Amino acid sequence: MNGQEWAEILVPLIVFSALVALMGLILLYNYKKKRLFLQMIERSLQQQLTLPPQTIREVALHFFSANRDTRKGVFLLVLSGSILAFSYFADFRQNGNLDLNDALNGIAILPALLGLAFLLLARLDRQRLY
């Protein structure tokens, strides 16, 4: 393999690996933030401090609100749309049986379905609250 063939393989691999790493870091940050909140509540209860239910409810709504699901859903739909647009505008040559444009269209399905699921969860959560 020459340098150009390696570049054709490594560039998409690095780009998609960076996206996966970024999403993993975001998920890890959100997990740690929620865990710290729950540890604070647990410590307060162990010290038998009185926490008014309104305080717990307000802080919990900040972490577990339907608006966050809406934001996640819209973000994932935009991500899916950007992958589809990239696949549409990029003209990859077909090597053997693999068509990279079809593969990218298939990859775009996952964030689209996840985005729709988050939007559905946000809608169901809003109907439950009101």
Distance CA 14, CA 97 (A): 23
- Please state the pTM of the whole predicted model: 0.55
Between the alpha carbon of residue 41 and those of residues 17, 55, 66, the distances in Å are: 36, 11, 21
pLDDT-derived band at 67 (thresholds 50, 70, 90) equals confident
The average confidence (pLDDT) of the chain is 81
Domain boundaries, the chain: 1-49, 65-130
Distance CA 41, CA 50 (A): 10
Q: Which tokens hold the place of 108?
A: 């775009």
Q: CA-to-CA distance for 94 and 105, rounded, in angstroms? A: 15
Q: Which residue has the higher pLDDT, 124 or 25?
A: 25
